[in-house]
Structure 1
Amino acid sequence: MLRKELRIIMISLVVSFVLTAAKFMAYFLTHSVAILSDALESIINVVAGAFACYSIYLTGKPKDEDHPYGHGKVEFFSIGFEGAMIFIAGILILFKAFQHIFLDKQVEDVSNGLWIEAATTLANLWLALFLRAAGRRMASITISGNGQHIMTDVYSSGGLIAALLLMHFTGWQWVDPAVSFVLGIVILVNGYRLLRRSISGLMDETDMQLVDKLITVLNNHRRDAWIDVHNMRVQQYGNNYHVDCHVTLPYYLPLVDAHEEMKSLETLVNKELEGHGDMEYFIHGDPCIPSSCKICRLAECPVRSFPFQHAVTWTRENVLPNKKHGSEAPVL
């Protein structure tokens, strides 16, 4: 898997390098600030691709004593670095747009620049679709992030081509800095989004979509012995996930049987969520207490203190807190 991810990101790096050179050629032909904006953003593709290669290399290294959860967190550094570079490029593009407004520079040889931009945009569209599909297939946020960034480049290049066509047929020179200004704003927004995603991952922000899928699986396949599930936490390390949770089981179960119940829960989730990356579990078994009887569905419980009253549907609200269902006090 590691070698395949490296091959994919190396393809991205080489293609981005060639396309960046072509865009700078278009700029020197036309002196268009909008084309320069596009070329500056493409430099970021090259730098980010190089950083992504290193992050994928680290992600593939096995766990060790210094990194017991692996090296997957470096992927969040990768997309954070890419986001910061995109943000800086957006600022530079806005600066150049204002500069051309005040200096009133003329765009030359629009037609040649237009053909080069069209060719590089089609190549970038293929690359972005390729990377996004590979990122989903491998559950790699680095490859997906790189594909998202390049797709942004495709959108901005499409707007640029429309602007160049307008300039070619009308001669309106003001279109060039105006389009560059819009592209700069779009690039700033996308840089911010990648930075936000990086910070969320580094701060272990919970992936609520994955939590919802986990809860749905547990609700649909629950066993009667799983009296409740609580204190669930999901942490992402690259394309690996670490899931912690507490499962309340009948207190009289032998240790072997309790272990089998927790192992069956782990096996179930791995099977139902196949394709979401590797999942590692730490499941803590809690013994039931008398107040658990009213939500316990075991029909032949030999030590029941109270009759069964109602089943609990697991949701974010009762699975994430560190509190047994049916108990008013937090679990210690």
Structure 2
Amino acid sequence: MTKLLLKTFVPNYNDTQNVSVRQRVGKLSGIVGIVLNVLLACSKIAVGLLFGVVSAFADGLNNLTDCGSNVISLVSFKLAGKSADKDHPYGHQRVEYVSALIVGVIVIVLALELASQSIGKIVTPEETEFSWWTVGVLGVSILVKLWMFLFNRRLGKNYASELLKATATDSVSDACATFGVLASVIVAHYTGFVYLDGIMGLIVAILIAVAGVSILRDTMSQLLGRAPDKELVQSIYDRIMRFDGVMGIHDLEVHNYGPNKFYASVHVEVDSAVDVMASHELIDKIERDFAQHTDVTLVIHMDPIIVGDPVVDMYRGEVRDIVRGLDKRYGVHDFRMTKGPKVVNLIFDVAVTFDCKMTDDELTEYIQTEMDKLHDGVFVVPTFDRQSCEYTEEES
């Protein structure tokens, strides 16, 4: 069904990175949600009023608020598709994160309201009139909400949308809430245990609140600047290293300005013996390649290094082996050597990860101790960088 809807209403739906395609997908999700939630709300409110099932009536009101969330989704996808302007030079795609945040707040508010109603039913239980119409409406509602969960989860994963993922979480929470209402209606009818409606409602409210907190946590992480996915970082590294003339990279930083809006900066090492204009042409070529074929706007700093000096190459290789002996994710860059009459100073930067437990002094002592095992009179002068972007370097 999901694929059929995409084929019918979203041309070129396989182009998951296209902004206009994302807008149409968001619009499709919003319209489907509004139509289904209105139908569910009307049917639940009707049986709730006809048969005095307060929990079914409240569940119907819950579906009406879901319509509000769907409207938020429609508006946010429209705003996210706006072009960059003077006040927002990086575009508007982060609107999706703000909208997901609003959905998370709505979910938590609904959970608190449901918890309040459930506690009231436990304190002052009420008998309800049993009807198979109520059972049928609630059963169909569960199936519809589960389909909406699968529908939005698939769209959220395929189009990397935190908002659609939040909508999917909201749908499965609604299915749980409706299941609780259905179970309490059936069990209360056959057992006469009038407190069950309130107890089940309270349990469901807790589950919904947990889902809302999960939405808020994930969305806030994006807004605060979560580290980029390792797959994205590795793909950037691999793509740059494919170009002839690139000796290595370091200081890669990736910033997220929306689900498919990335800005990155990196230092690219080139042979210092190569003409500077030729190296500059290489840098321009890499930046154009990223602009034309990826969602990453890349800015490169050219870093000339000495290549082919046997002494420098020897020391660089030894230092790299020592550093990688600590962790294969660590790297060495900006390596240079100063040589005096009696001592050699090796000056370089070391990129380590944020989870490195050793202090800079401990790292320096370790590298110096290992170097002392290889040479006398060779001193290391490292500078350490904590890197947010991790990638696997090619073995040299």
Give distance in 2, aligned partners of 1:246 and 1:27.
Answer: 65
Supply the AA of the counterpart residue of 1:283. V
Deviating more after overlay: 309-318 vs 237-246: 309-318
Give distance in 1, aligned partners of 2:283 and 2:235.
Answer: 18
TM superposition shift of 1:289: 5.0
What is residue 29 of structure 1 aligned with on the other side?
50
Aligned residues: 310
Among 209, 233, 237, the alignment partner of 1:214 is 233
Residues 34-45 of structure 1 mapped to structure 2, 5 A cutoff: 34-45=55-66
Supply the AA of the counterpart residue of 1:218. Y
Residues 302-321 of structure 1 mapped to structure 2, 5 A cutoff: 302-303=308-309, 305-307=312-314, 308-309=317-318, 310=320
Supply the AA of the counterpart residue of 1:18. L
Conserved in 1, the CA contact under 8 Å of 2:283 and 2:302? no
Deviating more after overlay: 35-44 vs 120-129: 35-44
What is residue 295 of structure 2 aligned with on the other side?
279
- The TM-score, its normalising length taken from structure 2, stands at 0.68
1:130 maps to 2:151: yes
Give distance in 2, aligned partners of 1:317 and 1:20.
Answer: 56
Among 29, 48, 67, the alignment partner of 1:8 is 29
What is residue 190 of structure 2 aligned with on the other side?
169
Extract unaligned runs of 5+ from structure 1. 272-277, 291-300
Give distance in 2, aligned partners of 1:186 and 1:270.
Answer: 45
Among 96, 101, 107, the alignment partner of 1:75 is 96
TM superposition shift of 1:70: 0.7
Per residue, is there more strand in 1 or in 2? 2
TM superposition shift of 1:146: 1.4
Conserved in 1, the CA contact under 8 Å of 2:246 and 2:270? yes
Give distance in 2, aligned partners of 1:330 and 1:133.
Answer: 42
Conserved in 2, the CA contact under 8 Å of 1:201 and 1:236? no
What is residue 282 of structure 2 aligned with on the other side?
260
Supply the AA of the counterpart residue of 2:95. V
TM superposition shift of 1:18: 1.8
Question: Structure 1 residues 29 and 206 mapped into 2: Cα distance closer, same or farther (>3 Å)?
Answer: farther
What is residue 294 of structure 1 aligned with on the other side?
none
Alignment RMSD (CA, Å): 3.3
Residue by residue over 1:73-131, the C-alpha shift from the partner in whole angstroms, topping out at 9 and shown as x without a partner, is: 11111011111111111111111111112222112224322111111121222222222
1:146 maps to 2:170: no
1:328 maps to 2:382: yes
Deviating more after overlay: 228-237 vs 94-103: 228-237
What is residue 180 of structure 1 aligned with on the other side?
201
Extract unaligned runs of 5+ from structure 2. 1-20, 333-348, 352-379, 386-396
Give distance in 2, aligned partners of 1:146 and 1:169.
Answer: 35
What is residue 265 of structure 2 aligned with on the other side?
244
Supply the AA of the counterpart residue of 2:163. T
Conserved in 2, the CA contact under 8 Å of 1:124 and 1:154? yes
What is residue 359 of structure 2 aligned with on the other side?
none
TM superposition shift of 1:288: 4.5
Among 75, 79, 100, the alignment partner of 2:121 is 100
TM superposition shift of 1:255: 4.2
Residue by residue over 1:186-223, the C-alpha shift from the partner in whole angstroms, topping out at 9 and shown as x without a partner, is: 1111111112223222222224xx13542377369845
Supply the AA of the counterpart residue of 1:49. N
Supply the AA of the counterpart residue of 2:300. H
Conserved in 2, the CA contact under 8 Å of 1:266 and 1:281? no
What is residue 50 of structure 1 aligned with on the other side?
71
Question: Structure 1 residues 70 and 269 mapped into 2: Cα distance closer, same or farther (>3 Å)?
Answer: closer
Give distance in 2, aligned partners of 1:176 and 1:330.
Answer: 60
- The TM-score, its normalising length taken from structure 1, stands at 0.79
Residues 216-231 of structure 1 mapped to structure 2, 5 A cutoff: 218=237, 222-223=241-242, 225-231=246-252
Question: Structure 1 residues 105 and 51 mapped into 2: Cα distance closer, same or farther (>3 Å)?
Answer: same
Give distance in 2, aligned partners of 1:29 and 1:59.
Answer: 43
Conserved in 1, the CA contact under 8 Å of 2:240 and 2:286? no
Give distance in 2, aligned partners of 1:15 and 1:24.
Answer: 14
TM superposition shift of 1:165: 2.7
Give distance in 2, aligned partners of 1:11 and 1:188.
Answer: 24
Supply the AA of the counterpart residue of 2:230. V
Conserved in 1, the CA contact under 8 Å of 2:47 and 2:133? yes
Deviating more after overlay: 127-136 vs 178-187: 127-136
Question: Structure 1 residues 230 and 103 mapped into 2: Cα distance closer, same or farther (>3 Å)?
Answer: same
